[in-house]
Amino acid sequence: MKRADFLKFSCRNVTGGKVAGEAVLTNEAINFYLVDPDSGKIIEEGHGLEGESISDKIIVFPSDKGSSVVQLDGLFLAAEKGNKPKAFVVKELSTVLVSNSIIMEIPLVCDVEGQFYEVIQKGDWVEIEADELLIKQKNK
Amino acid sequence: MHLNQDERDMLEGKHGIGVANAMKILVGIGEAFQAEKMSKVSRVHISLSNQEGDLWFVKKLVEGGAKCKVMSTVNPAFNKKYFEKICTFSPQELEVHKETQNAYKKIGIVPTFQCTPYFENNVPRFRETVAFAASGASCFVNSVYGARTNRESSQSALCAAITGVTPLYGFLLDEKRKGNVLIEVNAEIKNDFDFQLLGYAVPQKMGSGVPVFCGIEKEPSKEAFMNLSTELNVHGVIPMFHVLGMTPEAKTLDDCFHGEKPKKVIEIKNEDLDQVRKTLSAGKGEISFVILGCPHLTISQIKEVAQMVEGRKLKTELWIFTSYLNKELSERMGLAEVISKAGGRIVEDSCVDQPIWAHMEGKKGLTESPKCAYYVAKRKMKLIVRSLQECVQAAIEGEVR
């Protein structure tokens, strides 16, 4: 891929690290306990991502939700089955999400430039390195 | 972030690899939230969960020689002695249970196994800096007592217990405790159950932030505050709230908003609570069980249940989850005998979200707790949420109207 095909955005890479993967998106907070470890699919009834897999994906979502311990278990079991997400791109940080991201070694990014949210689509290729986030759009 | 000599020593491994790991996580969190330095904590609550992720993490610290420096209470797993007689556990479940108990014992927690530490054993004072995990408990001590904690993860709280410090950010700072959303309650709030509904409705309408409730006329009971703190953190992330004229940092609206204007004003009407009721409470007919006590029932609630079931024979299973102290008190007060004669059970040291419901798979029942319904759904049971009184009535009648 030519780098010229990429759109570039500034961001804050909270836990450091370099990562690349396909994006999944939601406007709803995610509770990582309600993920089926065997498939990596979200199983929360009525959630916008219900039935979608987060395995190996860069998840673009506003924030996490849920109590203080169970989400680690959801991520841990998914990781055991090889279904850990690649990275978290969020609007708001929580202590729970930050500590889970450090403990499970899942890169966490926030404060992405506003325009990012206007162009990002499901299935786009995302690369994160230092404080920069790049998108290769799927349909362009 | 700035670390003092002692903190640097911990980070560099001078107190062992377990302590260094704990410090590394705290520094990572501190940097994420741009904390300038660490702050000492005087007490900790850890939301032990008896799950594989929980066990993996605590074992890693134990193997690294870590020990709790600060008094730390813990959430419940399940009472093995009690449930062994009723349930069949898989060898793996028993192994996780045994290892969890051993690991937490080794790391030096106080084995309270209770999710309402703020009522017993771990009660912070106004402005005390603490590290409380269990999202409902963090919210309760921040809001109702005016103690200072972030909405810790179980793991970050454990790291604070081991190092004696937590990064100074968020709800430890005056500025972040400021209310930013005004919640005008123009709905009838008649009882403790209405606070469950209110806690469920508010995050959906406001998103995140620090809500300031006004229009609550009757002084909420401690159970009402418990329900509100808990439910605000099931579908939302609300580490703190104010109730105008009632909570300690909310004498006036200026107090709540630190003299500023709210960013948002949201009205909660009867229709909003009815909407929640429709989502959670729909369903009629025969039921097989009633589960109460997420969070653990207080002794007053147990007394109320006992009064309702006295002299009756229950048609369904009735489970009451509570603390070891309340269990003991219920025996001293004769309530346990009344409930047991009716066919109900009171169990201590246990959480509803544990592998104890195999016999209920596929069955329908009631709970007073939206949090219980949300989490226990993963265990293939159908739960309808009604008030405590309606739940007990349904256990007597064998059906829900």
pLDDT given for residue B380 in this prediction: 87
Beta-strand ranges (E) seen in B257-381 are: 264-269, 285-286, 289-297, 317-322, 344-348, 364-367
Give span(s): CATH 3.40.50, chain B. Answer: 178-278
Chain A residues in contact with B151 (beta carbon < 8 A)? 68, 94-96
Looking only at the bridges linking them, the beta strands covering B317-322 and B289-297 are parallel
Confidence check: pLDDT of A3 > 90: no
As a whole number, the mean pLDDT across chain B is 96
* Residue whose structure tokens are 């939302």: B236
* CATH class (in words) of the domain with range B178-278: alpha beta
Radius of gyration of chain B (CA): 21
Query: Is B135 in contact with A67 (Cβ distance < 8 A)?
Result: yes
pLDDT given for residue A5 in this prediction: 85
In chain B, the percentage of residues whose pLDDT exceeds 90 is 95
Confidence check: pLDDT of B134 > 60: yes
Confidence check: pLDDT of B75 > 60: yes
What is d(CA B26, CA B22) in angstroms, rounded to the nearest whole number? Answer: 6
pLDDT given for residue B96 in this prediction: 96
Q: Is A67 a catalytic residue?
A: yes
Chain B nearest C-alpha distance from A139 (Å): 32
Asked whether A54 and A37 are in contact (CB, 8 A), the reply is no
Give span(s): CATH 3.30.499.10, chain B. Answer: 5-174, 282-400
pLDDT band at A1 (very low <50, low <70, confident <90, very high): low
pLDDT given for residue A114 in this prediction: 87
Confidence check: pLDDT of B379 > 90: no
What is d(CA B319, CA B83) in angstroms, rounded to the nearest whole number? Answer: 12
Average pLDDT over residues A43-71: 93
pLDDT given for residue B268 in this prediction: 98
Q: Which range marks the domain in which residue A81 is found?
A: 3-136
Q: Tell me the CATH architecture of domain B5-174.
A: 2-Layer Sandwich (3.30)
pLDDT tens profile B13-40: 999 999 999 999 999 999 999 999 999 9
The residue type of B222 is K
Q: Chain B contact for A107, CB < 8 A?
A: no
pLDDT given for residue B173 in this prediction: 98
Confidence check: pLDDT of A4 > 80: no
What is d(CA B280, CA B292) in angstroms, rounded to the nearest whole number? Answer: 15
ipTM at complex level: 0.93
* Residue whose structure tokens are 């991201």: A101
Asked whether B373 and B234 are in contact (CB, 8 A), the reply is no
Average pLDDT over residues A16-30: 94
pLDDT band at A2 (very low <50, low <70, confident <90, very high): low
Confidence check: pLDDT of B335 > 80: yes
Confidence check: pLDDT of B369 > 80: yes
What is d(CA A7, CA A120) in angstroms, rounded to the nearest whole number? Answer: 10
What is d(CA B280, CA B4) in angstroms, rounded to the nearest whole number? Answer: 50
Angle A45-A47-A49 (CA atoms, 0-180°, nearest 5)? Answer: 120
Chain B nearest C-alpha distance from A68 (Å): 4
Q: Chain A contact for B138, CB < 8 A?
A: yes
Confidence check: pLDDT of A115 > 70: yes
pLDDT tens profile B249-263: 999 999 999 999 999
Catalytic-role residue among A10, A55, A67, A94: A67
In chain A, the percentage of residues whose pLDDT exceeds 90 is 85
Our count of domains for chain A comes to: 1
CATH number at residue A110: 3.50.30.10
Asked whether B223 and B298 are in contact (CB, 8 A), the reply is yes
pLDDT given for residue B337 in this prediction: 98
What is d(CA B335, CA B305) in angstroms, rounded to the nearest whole number? Answer: 9
Bridge partners for B365 per DSSP: B289, B383
Q: Chain A contact for B236, CB < 8 A?
A: yes
Provide the b/e sequence for A28-67 (b: ≥16 CB within 10 Å).
bbbbbbbbbbeebbbbbeebebeebbbbebbbbbebbbbb
Could you tell me which CATH number the domain at B282-400 has? 3.30.499.10
Q: Minimal CA–CA distance to A70: which of A29, A106, A34? A: A34
Chain A nearest C-alpha distance from B338 (Å): 34
Those residues whose C-beta lies under 8 Å from the C-beta of residue B63, and which sit 6 or more positions away, are B18
Average pLDDT over residues B305-319: 98
What is d(CA A127, CA A58) in angstroms, rounded to the nearest whole number? Answer: 9
Asked whether B167 and B39 are in contact (CB, 8 A), the reply is yes
Query: Is B155 in contact with A15 (Cβ distance < 8 A)?
Result: no
